Structure formats: structure tokens, C-alpha cells
Structure 1
Amino acid sequence: MTASDSSTPLKVLFLSSDTGGGHRASAESLGGQFQELFPGSQYNLHDIHTEDGLPPWNRLVDNYKHLSAHPQQWKMFYKITNTEAVNVIFDTAQKMTCEKAMRNSIMEHDPDVVVSVHPMMNNIPALSCQKISQETGRYLPIFTVVTDLATAHSMWFCNGVDRIYIASDECRKIAKDRGNFPDHKITQIGLPIRTQFGQQAELLGDRMSPEGVQYQQSVRQNLGLPVVDKKTVLVMGGGEGVGSLSNIVNALYMEFYDRGIDALILVVCGRNEKLKKDLEIRDWDAMMADARAKQSQSKAFGLRSLSFQSCISGTPDMTTSSQQDGCMEGSVTQKIKRILSSSSIGKIASQNALADLNEINGVATTTKTSRSSSPVSLPPVGEQEDEDAIEVDDEFHIKIGKDDVNYIDSNDAEDDSTSSPQVRDVDLPESSTQKGNVTVVGLGFVTKMAEYMVAADVLISKAGPGTIAEAASLSLPIMLTSFLPGQEEGNVDYVVSGGFGAFIEDKNPDGVAREVGNWLTNEEKAKEMSIKAKSWGAPHAARDIAENIGKIALKWKYINDERERLNAEAEKLKLGTLNLDGDE
């Protein structure tokens, strides 16, 4: 065997845990690539906390399930633990209670290389690998593959590993700032995603080219979709509630119907059999009639006050201004939302909203909102403090630094106390004479997700890192509708600043539908977003990471084997069992 002999199999041990599907999916993808690149290789997944830890470490999976179902609790936990002091406490406690058991488990697997794909399985496992190397005389390399996209917990970055693999510049900065990683130990390739996405990316090529369109239609046909020549939207629920997912589908149906967009809406329902069956029998005409009745009621009860409140509370807003649609787009607006909800500004907004409603007795004063083709663009987070200053005037214009964000276009409002109250003119989508032909299909568990993403023109999903990486690999524009506070928050900025998607909260389904409709009816915009998505994609990241780790592991395997051979020969000489001619 030589140090670069790729025909030599490897025994790979992945350290992971089922705290979210991304860790296991990344490990499985990497494991498959090891087997393909280094024939005969074997891999195992091991959860050192669940199987080797003491309380509370062995409750990691159950605790995560609870916290992820309660986002605010998870946000608090994430924020508290994402500090150097807490990291030291965690590492010290694990070292005292779990390290020896972890070390024994790793030795039982007898791996050639250890790969961590979990943030809580780096520092102490790295220490265990060092002790194993000392005890056995065979160096055991350990690597970290970060499975978060843009925002990553500081526990990922343990400088004791041989090398760390990341997907973005944002993670590189954290690795250097929080983990003190030198550049030579950081490799930026991409997020490891399932092999099928790389395969489909090769077959698809340029999504917007005639060849790409033809391949897309052939995939639609192979999937047995009812139509192959309509605009197709893929909706994934993820962690979103049943109600929000259903409301988004309803809003999409109405938007496409009213604007004359022929479309197919594919809804991934997963375990939600109730939603899948409901979509099969839903009376879409009755749904639209009910929605229009609610629109009329909202129109009569004063949208001027409600529209601003919707940006604070996240409740659905029946106005159709694209500025309202984008009120939740970008991280700066998240900052506004937090400030408004916790300061006197929010109280003033609520008081004025109530005063407006009382004053007009349920009838709104006439005002018009300007409509743009895309959500309002907000300045990025990270500006200097004076540029982040927020000013609010009496008409509730919000100014962030040098930029004005007009949630309410009060410049056009008529402030005339002598005039009679009038119903506000609402800028509803222009009704097309030719109504859209819209089909909705509910899907259960999807095993061919790469093919469904090829078939789609737009993806609507939560901001999971794996989903975003998969969509980008197939040059698919993405509308984000929710995120888990903490590690998924930066993913929103990643997509929006990358130019291949937007974020509109799932509590505003009309805004989601309106913006997606804009994308489907603007070929130039769709092409631009597709190109940008592809530029951020890394469809073969798993293969490249596995190849890089495998080559390093093989070098150490060669060194270890040579060292054992030489030691064995030296032992024979010492015992006098090897004569000068080499004959025993």
C-alpha cells in the first residue's frame, strides 16, 4: 500500500446525533462517497451522548425535540450556550463524566478516521482521539464537517481536530474568531448534500436553457405529474404548523387564479396525512369565496392601522403593497421587530392603531399604498451604531440610519378632519380576464426530492441549511417562510443577500403568494435568480470533502502500518528471532 492508494478501504466512524435531520443526512451522504471513492470502505454512525453519556447528555435528542418545538425556548438556550464561558463548562463536565466511555466506544469501532458532523461532538472526542493515539501508537485523525450553512454555534469550532470543513465565508469568520483556527486547517467546500442532487445537477445543466427546460419536463413526466408544461411551485412544510402551510397553499391558489397564471402546486405533506387528504377534496371555489369575504371585512374595518401592526405582530395583512409583503425580509427588519415589541415605540403603535379604529368607528380613512415589483430592500446588519439608529415620526415612517422604510405611505393620506370617512383604496392584484388554471397535488413522503426540485420553478420552505444547499445546487430560487432562531437565522441573510430568494413570514401567506407570482411572471427575474442560486451551489461537496478527508486518512494509515511493521521487525531483532540473512 502507498500513501495515496485510493484502492485501500477505510473504516470511518461518524459522530452524530438525531437532533435535526441534517446531521444524519450529511453523514450518510459522506459515507456513501467514501464507499464509492475508496472501494470496500465501511462507515458507522455513533451518538456518543445518547450511548455513552450520563444525564443530562444522554437526553440530548429528547431535549432538542422539545426545544425545537418551542422556538423561543430554543432561542434562549442557543444564545446562552453560544458563549466561551458556557463552552468551557460543558467541556469540563463532559470530560469528567463521559470522556472515558466515549474513548472506549471509539476504540471498539477501531476506525481509521473519525468525522464529527455535530457541534457537541468535537472537543472531547478530539481529546479521546489523542489519548487513543498515545495508547495504541497509531495516530487517529479526527475531522469536523460543519453542517450549518451561515450561522454556526461556537461548539463546532474545536481547534483540536485535524481539519474543519465549512460552507461559507460567514463560518470561516467564526472559525477564526471563536475557534482560533489557522487558515491551513480550514477548508471551504460547501455543505455535504445527498448524492442524488449532484447527479441531477449534472443532468439538468443550465436550468433556463432549452436543454434544461426539456430535461425538466422529462423529469416531470417521469414523476407522473398531472401536467409537464405549467409553472410548478414546490411547497415544503418543515417545522411550520399545519395551518400556516395550508394557508400558504390557499393564497398561492388565489394569486395564480386571479393573475391568470397556469400553475401546478406540489405540497410535501410528509406525515401529515390529514392535510394530504384535505388537499385532495378541498373545494377551491368555496375557499376563494370565503377568502374574498374576509378581504371585504378587513377592507371595511380600517387597514391603515392594521397594516403597520401586522409588521409588528406578524399577523396576515390583507393589503397588497409589496412593501408590506417584504416587511419581514432581511435581518434588519428582525431587529426592528424586536425593538418595536419591547420598547415604547411598539406601545405607541398599538395605541395609535386603537385610536384610529375608535376615531373612524370601523371605517378607514382613504390612503393609497405604492406598489413595487419586489419586497422592500433593507440595509444589512452589522453597520455602525449611528447608522443603525431608528427614528419614528408621528406618521410612523421608520428610518434606519440613512434609509427610510415606509411601512405606511402616510404621505398620500388625506389629513382632513372635515372630510367624510371613506373606505381605503386597496391595491388588489389586477384581475386577469383569463383566469389561471391551477392544480394542487399533495405528496406524502418524498424519496426523490432532487427530482422534485428539478421539476419545480420555485421552492417555498423553512430556512433549513440542507434544503437551501440542495435548492442552490439545482439553481432553484427559494422563498423562505420561517426559521429556527439561532443556527438558521443567518441562512435568511445568506439567501437574500445571495440574490436567489427572499424571506416573507409564513404568517403573511398573501405576501408569500404575491411575490412568488411576481417571480413566475418575470422571466428575466427568474433567470437572474436561477443563475445566482447556481453560483452559490455546491452539488458535489460531499464527494470533494470525502476525497479530501480520505487522502489524509490514507496517509496516516500508511504511516501507522509502516510504523507497526518496523516496530515488529525491531522486536524480532531484539528477541534474536531474525538473523542477519533475514531467515528465521
Structure 2
Amino acid sequence: METQKKKILILTADAGFGHRSASLAIQSAIEELFPARYQISLVNPLDNKKAPFFIKESQSEYDKWVRDVPELYKFGYDLSDSPIPVTILETILVVSLFEVINDVIEEHEPDIIINTYPLYQAPFVAVRSLHRLNIPMVTIVTDLATVHQIWFNDKVDWLVVPTEIVRNEAIEAGVKPANICVIGIPVNPRIFQLTESKQELRKSLGWNSDLTTILAVGSKRVEHFKVNLDILNHSGFPFQLTVVTGKDQRLYNELKEVDWHHETHLYEFVDQMPEFMHASDLLITKAGGLIVTEALASGLPMILIDVIPGQESGNAKFVKDGNAGFWTKNPNEFIQVLGHLFFNEKECLRQTTENAKNIGKPSSALKIAELIIHQLETSEFIFSPKVDFIHMIEDILVKNQIQWKKKT
């Protein structure tokens, strides 16, 4: 009789691209290291019909807020990034998402939960406490340096962080050091596995194999993207340009009408980003945690042209402090940095590339997968919540008329 496979549930969200990309990277790594041994489900709980409209829509509205009113977004981010506001926010999340998370757990019956979105932690802890569920949760932080305190729930079992900077922030917020693992942000395992040279990859992609290659990745979220592409187009430096517009069809169509003065390759969307990064010499993009991590894992230096106030500021600072790239705030700074990179036979570009390789973590997803399976197979997990905590959760739910029932 075939042994029933243990179940791994990965929770994600679609606020930006980073959470889902990190989730897919973990899923791919587990499937590669342990083929067909586990039943893996990747779920966005906010797709549940019970998810409140204001939280569900926050995924799509995220783009609008950070693009149209960045300073207001930063104000809200900073205001909520302290213990008392976080406690209030967690209470709101318990009330809003208790039934959603409960439904997801009942449907999938996981043996372990991997979480890449911070808003799920408090409601999960509430569900687990009330129903006495012995299900561990591993949370994966998806920003490199400046991390909102909502990520640091001290009742989650393991917290995977990308850097010592974030580890120290977590400890300061009350997470036990023994529950923190410094590994990295999970990136597509193909980044680690590619062995072809840049020239071989460029040839396979239909690019010029000998030209210095600039990869520009942007969409409606990236400020100054078109302006900086125009600067590249008229710069006169010797390179070919590859542009990916991140499913932004309008931008893609506009760029197809441009009279390009360099050899240029346009893509609306690609599923070969590891190959694109390894084939390139320089990345131009925004300071999202996932794309920055992928670039560093690929040894690809970058010019960051758009930084969301709050969490992305830390990503940009991490890259800058590691001398693995540049943060330009306007087109004048962009053209100056470009000149430095191509000056003196591109010596600055070569050194920045070496620095990116030194701080990149290409095998992070595989190491996270190994951690998850080790805990799943070797740890005897018994959750024993304190009685006063259970009473507090019960009181919150009753006062807000949230239906729940204890499992027998």
C-alpha cells in the first residue's frame, strides 16, 4: 500500500511580483530536490470569496498607491511600523482573515505551511491556537534590509531572513534568535544551475553574442523608465539593449514604435529571466526585493531607477553599500552613472559585477527547501498556546461576530 504523501501548503499574494515569485522558487526547489515525494499546494488566500474587499483589493491598489502618492504610502508605512500600530493591525487581520485562513487549512490539511506574505501570520496563529492544530509555519521574508515589523510575529515557528541586518531587526522585535535562519530570498533554482557562458546564452536567445548587454526590466510601476530608455537610446555607448515590460502591454506597444539606435530586443513578458540575467552585463530596474535578489544571485550589477519609500529603500541601500550597483534619482544622475560604467574600458562595470557576485545567494531556494523538509521530517511539532492568549483571541472573534468552532 502506497504511503500517503505529506502535504506542504505555500501561502502567497499578488501585491507586486515578489511574493508569488518567491513561492514558486520554493516549490520548484522542493520538487527538484525531492521529486514526487510531497503534495505541494500554492494558494493565495485572498482569492477566497470570504476575503474582505479592502484587503483583496490592496493587492491591485498597491501599484496605484506607490506610483501616484509615494510619500503618503511612506507615511502610512512608517506610521504602522512600530509595536503598538502593529498590534492593532494584527487584531484587524485576525478579525478579517480568520475564516479565510481557517477555510484554506481545512481544505488542504497541510503538515507544514510556508508563508511568503506577512499579513497571514496573525490570523494563522489565531486559527492554530483555537483549534489546537499542530501545524508549523515557516515565514520567508522577501525584502533585504528595511523590513516592516508586521513580518516579525514571535509565534511563528521559523523565520527565514535574507541578511544579518534583518535578523537583528527580528530579534529586536521579539523573535527568538533560535527561530531565525539567515539564508536569503528564494530565487529560481535555474539561476544557480546555469553553466553556459554569456556568449552561449546570448546566441541561444537570438542576441548579438559579442556586444555588452543591458537588460532593462520595467512596467507601469517604474518611474522614469521610458525617460531612461530614451537616454540609453541616444547615449552612443557600445551595447545592445533588451527590454522586458512586465506584462505592461501599453508600454510594450509604445516601445515598438521607437526608432532604436542600438540593437534592441523587446519582450512584453518572459519566463526565462534567469537566462536573461546571466546573458546580461547590467540591469536597469526598480528596487523590488525579488528582482534585486535575482540580479545579485546572477552576479549582475544594477542601476536602480525607482525606489518605493519604505521597504525598497533598504533594498537600494543594501545594493549601494555592497558596491553592487547604483541608485539614481533622476535622469541626470542616470547618465552620469552610465558614463562611469563605460569609462576606462568598463573597469567600473567589471568591479561592480564582482561585488554583485560576492553578495549574491544563488542557492537560497534550495537551502530553504532543505530546511523545510528537515523540519517536516525530523521535528515533532506540538503547539501549546497559553490560555490567556486563547481567551484573548476568543474575545476578539466573539465581539466581532466571527463564526468559529472548535475541532473535536
- Residue correspondences, number: 377
Q: Which runs of 5+ in 2 are unaligned?
A: 384-408
Determine whether 1:548 maps to 2:371.
Answer: yes
Distance 1:535 1:58, change over 3 A: same
- The letter for the 1-side match of 2:67 is A
- Where in structure 2 are the equivalents of 1:449-528 lying within 5 Å? 449-505=273-329, 507-508=330-331, 510-521=332-343, 522-528=345-351
Moved over 6 A (4+): 557-560
- Where in structure 2 are the equivalents of 1:557-568 lying within 5 Å? none
Larger radius of gyration: 1
Determine whether 1:262 maps to 2:262.
Answer: no
Paired position in structure 1 for 2:210? 229
Q: Deviations over 1:376-427 (max 9, x none)?
A: xxxxxxxxxxxxxxxxxxxxxxxxxxxxxxxxxxxxxxxxxxxxxxxxxxxx
Alpha carbons 1:499, 1:532 under 8 Å: kept: yes
Q: Which runs of 5+ in 1 are unaligned?
A: 1-6, 205-214, 286-437, 561-584
Give secondary structure in 2 for the equivalent of 1:18. coil
Distance across 2 between alignment mates of 1:455 and 1:22:
22
- The letter for the 2-side match of 1:198 is F
Distance across 1 between alignment mates of 2:341 and 2:275:
21
- The letter for the 2-side match of 1:515 is V
Determine whether 1:248 maps to 2:228.
Answer: yes
Give secondary structure in 1 for the equivalent of 2:306. coil
Distance across 1 between alignment mates of 2:22 and 2:124:
19
- The letter for the 1-side match of 2:181 is T
Distance across 2 between alignment mates of 1:439 and 1:72:
37
How far is 1:36 from its partner? 2.4
Distance 1:278 1:122, change over 3 A: closer
How far is 1:517 from its partner? 3.3
Distance across 2 between alignment mates of 1:61 and 1:34:
27
- Where in structure 2 are the equivalents of 1:304-383 lying within 5 Å? none
Paired position in structure 1 for 2:80? 81
Match of 2:165 among 158, 170, 176: 170
Match of 2:354 among 528, 531, 538: 531
How far is 1:154 from its partner? 0.5
Give secondary structure in 2 for the equivalent of 1:122. helix
How far is 1:501 from its partner? 0.6
Distance across 2 between alignment mates of 1:195 and 1:175:
27
How far is 1:97 from its partner? 4.8
Alpha carbons 2:163, 2:184 under 8 Å: kept: yes
How far is 1:519 from its partner? 1.4
Determine whether 1:143 maps to 2:138.
Answer: yes
TM-score (norm 2): 0.85
Determine whether 1:12 maps to 2:8.
Answer: yes
Give secondary structure in 1 for the equivalent of 2:347. helix
Determine whether 1:191 maps to 2:181.
Answer: no
How far is 1:149 from its partner? 1.5
Determine whether 1:114 maps to 2:113.
Answer: yes
TM-score (norm 1): 0.60
- The letter for the 2-side match of 1:85 is I
Q: Deviations over 1:327-375 (max 9, x none)?
A: xxxxxxxxxxxxxxxxxxxxxxxxxxxxxxxxxxxxxxxxxxxxxxxxx
CA RMSD between the two structures: 2.5
Alpha carbons 1:191, 1:542 under 8 Å: kept: yes
Paired position in structure 2 for 1:402? none
How far is 1:278 from its partner? 4.7
Q: Percent identity?
A: 27
Distance across 2 between alignment mates of 1:221 and 1:533:
24
Distance 1:129 1:452, change over 3 A: same
How far is 1:498 from its partner? 0.4
Paired position in structure 2 for 1:53? 51
Give secondary structure in 2 for the equivalent of 1:488. helix
